[in-house]
Amino acid sequence: MKEIKKCFITLLYTRKAQAVKQWMENEGFSKEGSSSSDDELVDLTGTAQDLIDDVPYLDHGSTANHSNGSWAGNAGLLDLLEEGVPGVGTYDDFNTIDWVREKSKDRDRHREISRKKKQSVLALLFSLSDAFSGWLLMLLIGLMSGALAGGIDIAAHWLTDLKEGVCLNGFWFNHENCCWDSKETTFQERDKCPQWKSWAELMVGVTEGASAYVVNYLMYVSWALLFSFLAVILVRAFAPYACGSGIPEIKTILSGFIIRGYLGKWTLVIKTITLVLAVSSGLSLGKEGPLVHVACCCANILCHLFTKYRKNEAKRREVLSAASAVGVSVAFGAPIGGVLFSLEEVSYYFPLKTLWRSFFAALVAAFTLRSINPFGNSRLVLFYVEFHTPWHFLELFPFVLLGIFGGLWGALFIRANIAWCRRRKTSRLGHYPVLEVLVVALATALLAFPNEYTRMSGSELISELFNDCSLLDSSKLCDYLPLSKVGDKGANFSQSSNGLADRPAGPGVYAAIWQLALALVFKMFITVVTFGMKVPSGLFIPSMAVGAIAGRLLGIGMEQLAYYHHDWPMFKSWCSPGADCITPGLYAMLGAAACLGGVTRMTVSLVVIMFELTGGLEYIVPLMAATMTSKWVADALGREGIYEAHIRLNGYPFLETKEEFEHKTLAMDVMRPRRSDPPLSVLTQDGMTVEEVEAMISDTSYSGFPVVVSNESQRLVGFVLRRDLVISIDNARRCQEGIVGASHILFTDHSPSQPLGGPPPLNLRSILDLSPLAVTDHTPMEITVDIFRKLGLRQCLVTQNGRLLGIITKKDILKHMAQMANRDPDSILFN
Amino acid sequence: MQAAGGVRLLALGCVLVLSAQLAESKNSEDIRCKCICPPYKEIEGQIYNQNVSLKDCNCLHVVEPMPVEGKDVEAYCLRCECKYEERSSGTIKGTIIIYLSVLGLLLLYMVYLTLLEPILKRRLFGHSQLIQNDDDVGDQQPFANAHDVLSRSRSRPNVLNKVEHAQQRWRRQVQEQRKSVFDRHVVLS
């Protein structure tokens, strides 16, 4: 067995290298806009080492598939294949998995275990542990993700505050923790304490004045530049896949695509470290999307501990769906919202079993995060609010207005961001990623420092905006004038528990309004440029910040309107003077939800996340009003959410499940070969020699070949994948006796009579898929697309009158859909 | 690389255990009761902080010195809001130190890979067998170098052989990733 493996490994080096070199000489790299064969594998020459990656985890000798029942009569030919040629049954990088094959592999394995468990106690224990392994894996994922998220939160808080100053008590404390048990904090200035020194104090010795301001400004900008520089060079040097949000690629991976290394160890480490740096550098990005990526990396790494998940790509994707739920759960402290997010946004196939397991994993992660306690007050998220003031149904009009704003902003943001990213992809802007990050960080820091609302981090800003002003607050936003200074003092102070009567705005509030308006404009423009840069960047917090600012401004406006014009008919009925009618914090919350919904087009998950964040069940109706309006307005302006738009920009082979296919084309309009193409490349079941097959493999670049009974009858036998063919033939040539170029290749289960003295035949029935799906040429495309979506197919054969006519691949369908929508069909890059 | 992953997992486990232990040893400095009292009549708003436990976390125990007397105390205390908060300074310290050390290690490794390793290799092996990760050296023969590695390293002990081999493979993967993300903009635009 060891010799076979060694034989195989050295074989891979030479053969694949030659094949790749030859392919490259023949075809050239396939890039966007390539006009050569449509079924080209985009072989990025990284696939050679991916085969090596495959070998270690296949050393148990897995046999690939289900059609291996009929070996027994051919012991002499098949003692190699019985042990399983390593590499068969795995996939190339940037290819789609075969869901049907993976699922049936898992069912076979499970059947085998159930059959054996009656035989001995050991087998019974093994079957129990196999059933239990899923839950154990979920537990581990929750623990690891929760721990990492806690670490990220603590480190990000510290690094963010490091831009402003340092703690003398212990350099590892951030501002709030430094002043934690200080007795010198006052009501007006809650964050001043002698242990925390700003940089101006440390370097120049003054706390106020122009020189202090300049020194603080300079230090802020330099720290921001340093952090962003470190982030981008670490990403570039160690794990280029760690940049961006990660959610579009995870969506594609969950639909069956393979991107090797995207969920690997180095990507995890680099993403964690650089996420903290990127968030702390003041750039307008959040950490929710990258946390989903981090959680999926943890899940992928932990899958390698369990054979059941390591070897089966479909089962692994179930685990990855659960991990995305964990990611959102630790980001927001919303386990239910996380599961719904995974169900709605990220997952492609979400069986009911995954629902329960995701919930379990999300709860474990939330619990772990809580016990690490990054915020010092047993809360999971920084902006946990607890107001319960009621709202009036007339306020639905401003709520709908917020929804419209959210939808408009979402649609415009998506268009602007995609245009910017496309420019980055195609023009010279993309050649200077490090410089781009530095320039954007510099611009952000320079413009953000003067305005106190942009100087604070996104989460702090949102937390302050969501906060409803009570007597205990002393921030600028809560600087209202008291209702009356003389007279009946008792009656003017609040009757309700934590709200105050609507009061006229003081000078602080007016100053805050101007600053917030400037912050809104700034954030709206800078986020367009920031999302998609070559550092880990998330979208949730910036969108929520934009929405929260808009909402709060509207809320303050409504509040003042209600106070100054309390005799208008619309206010008279429900807003008497001295009552607390309008809660600007609620408006901020709804604005945040509307903007986030407009950008990502989340529906149920967004509402659930928002009310898990706030604990306010009474605000479900306003939330739904705002979110629905925002989604309708945004859908009217552009069909896709930001993640689908990025998927389309990158050309990933993602078959959208949410859209209906509404054209009346038939399967024969989409299938290959077209009239002008060469005829379909098929293999016959017993008529081809090894040389002919190798010639066919090297002449074409199709990823699979149908096998027919004979060239005249064209009756279908099965389908064989190119990768399996290459591996098996090479293995046989090296390690099997007597296989030469003239040996026949057989896909039957009995060998026909051989001429005496001829070389022994090579039977490859074990790699043949005997049940390929086929449709007739008159099948409507609606049904065909439905079949592809529901079963997760890669290719489907087309027959006419029982004879094989052509083949439809997933890429053909995507191109067809693009053509039907008048988009460029050559933008679909991968296979 | 598998060993490296295992080491990482082990380190993570240590962090968890450590943090759990640190959480248990409750430092008296790590608990506090924070009372915020808004302005009342002529008295300014104030914040009071004390390291008391949960049962003593109320206005009467924490607000000292009491700015009002007699019957006003109750009215004053009714407006104050007292919250009990806990934190784990050990966890914070541990996390920051681990983070900084990992960051430092990564930066050092990057400096080593980009600056020092070519110099060292040149000195050890001479110009003829230079193994560089040059971007211009075509990857038309992706495993030409790997052959060199394998053939040259027969004389070296097995562990070093494996480490070198794994490192070469990893570097090639990263180079591929960098090409597709940064240069050709095929993935992750």
Q: A376 in contact with B at a CB cutoff of 8 Å?
A: yes
Spatial distance between the Cα atoms of A332 and A220, rounded to a whole number of angstroms? 28
Architecture in CATH of A393-439+459-467+498-521+532-647: Orthogonal Bundle (1.10)
Among the partner residues B79, B85, B142, nearest to A48 by beta-carbon distance: B142
| Residue in the block written with tokens 């943090």 | B19
Interface test with B, best of A54, A191, A238 (most B CBs within 10 A): A238
Round to whole Å and give the CA distance between A434 and A630.
36
Q: What's the DSSP call for residue A305?
A: T
| pLDDT above 70: residue B8 | no
Tell me which residue of A299, A13, A8, A431 sits closest to B172, measured CA to CA. A13
Residue A117 has pLDDT above 80, yes or no: yes
The answer to whether the CB atoms of B85 and A376 lie below 8 A apart is yes
> At A763, phi and psi to the nearest 5?
-95, 120
Mean pLDDT for chain A overall? 82
B4, B48, B182 ranked by CB distance to A240: nearest? B182
As given in the structure block, the two tokens for residue A509 are 């509030």
A&B contacts, CB < 8 Å: 191
More confident residue, A648 or B155: A648
Asked which of A25-34, A305-314, A426-435, B7-16 is least confident by mean pLDDT, the reply is A25-34
Give A763-784 pLDDT, tens digit per residue. 888 888 888 899 998 999 999 9
Lowest-pLDDT range of A174-183, A255-264, A413-422: A174-183
Mean pLDDT of chain B: 74
Return d(Cα A77, Cα A346) in angstroms, integer: 46
Interchain CB distance below 8 Å, A233 and B110: yes
pLDDT at A560 over 60: yes
B36 chain-A contacts, CB cut-off 8 A: 187, 472
Q: Which residue has the higher pLDDT, A20 or B41?
A: B41
Nearest-by-Cβ selection for A13 from B12, B45, B146:
B146
ipTM > 0.95? no
Q: For residue B137, what pLDDT is reported?
A: 41
Pick the range with the lowest mean pLDDT from A196-210, B50-64, B81-95, B143-157.
B143-157
d(CA A664, CA A785): 12
| Contact (CB<8Å) B89/A150 | no
Q: What Cα–Cα distance (Å) separates residue A86 from each residue in A62, A81, B6?
A: 7, 9, 24
CATH number of A133-372: 1.10.3080.10
pTM here is 0.84
Are B189 and A44 inside 8 Å of each other by CB?
Answer: no
Find, in chain A, the residue whose alpha carbon is nearest to that of B139. Answer: A45
pLDDT of residue A222: 95
Three-state DSSP at A758 gives coil
Vertex A162: Cα angle to A160 and A167 (nearest 5): 130
Q: CB contact, 8 Å: A377 with chain B?
A: yes
Look at B36 and A372 and tell me if their CB atoms are within 8 Å: no
pLDDT of A278 reads 94
**Is the model's pLDDT at A750 over the cut of 80?**
no
Candidates B93, B174, B182; nearest CB to A172:
B93
Structural domain boundaries in chain A: 2-92, 133-372, 393-439+459-467+498-521+532-647, 667-827
How many residues does this entry show for chain A? 831
Residue type, A720: V
3 state SS of A168:
coil
pLDDT band with cut points at 50, 70 and 90 for residue A754? low
Q: What does the pLDDT look like over B9-56, one tens digit per residue?
A: 555 555 554 554 444 445 667 888 888 888 887 888 888 888 888 888
Residue A156 has pLDDT above 50, yes or no: yes
Q: Which residue has the tokens 């394995």?
A: A109
DSSP A825: G
Please determine, for residue A149, whether its predicted confidence score (pLDDT) is greater than 90.
yes
Helix/strand/coil percentages in chain B, nearest 5: 65, 10, 25
Which residues in chain A (797-826) have CB-CB distances under 8 A to chain B? Answer: none
Q: Which residues of A502-533 are buried (b: 16+ CB within 10 A; e: fewer)?
A: bbebeebbeebbebbebbbebbbebbbbbbbb
The per-residue pLDDT for B26 is: 52
Cβ–Cβ gap B95/A150 under 8 Å: yes
How far is Cα of residue A381 from the mean position of the Cα atoms in its chain? Answer: 21
Q: Is the pLDDT score of A506 beyond 50?
A: yes
**What percent of chain B has a predicted confidence (pLDDT) above 90?**
12
- Same CATH fold, A393-439+459-467+498-521+532-647 and A133-372? yes
Contacts of A449 (CB under 8 A, 6+ apart): A216, A217, A220, A221, A455
pLDDT tens for A464-496 read 898 888 777 778 888 887 765 433 444 444 433
Residue with tokens 């988009």: A823
**Domain at A667-827: CATH architecture:** Roll (3.10)
> What CA–CA distance (Å, rounded) separates A411 from A600?
10
In which band, very low, low, confident or very high, does the pLDDT at A380 lie, cut at 50, 70 and 90?
low
What's the average model confidence in pLDDT over A192-198? Answer: 86
Model pLDDT for residues B47-99, shown as the tens digit of each residue: 888 888 888 888 888 888 887 788 888 888 888 888 888 888 888 999 999 99
Q: Distance between CA atoms of B178 and B180, rounded to whole angstroms?
A: 5
Helix (H, G, I), strand (E, B) or coil at A573: coil
Burial of B81 (0-12, 13-18, 19+ CB in 10 A): middle
Say what the pLDDT of residue A251 is: 93
Shortest distance between the Cα of B143 and any Cα of chain A, in A, equals 7
Comparing B6 with B121, the larger pLDDT belongs to B121
Residue A44 near residue B176 (C-beta atoms within 8 A):
yes
Residue numbers in A near B13 (CB within 8 A): none
**pLDDT-based confidence at A24, cuts 50/70/90?**
very low
The dihedral region occupied by A45, where left means phi > 0, alpha psi between -120 and 50, and beta the remainder, is left
Domain-wise residue ranges, chain B = 31-87, 132-183
Distance of CA A207 to CAs A163, A210, A216, Å?
A: 16, 10, 10
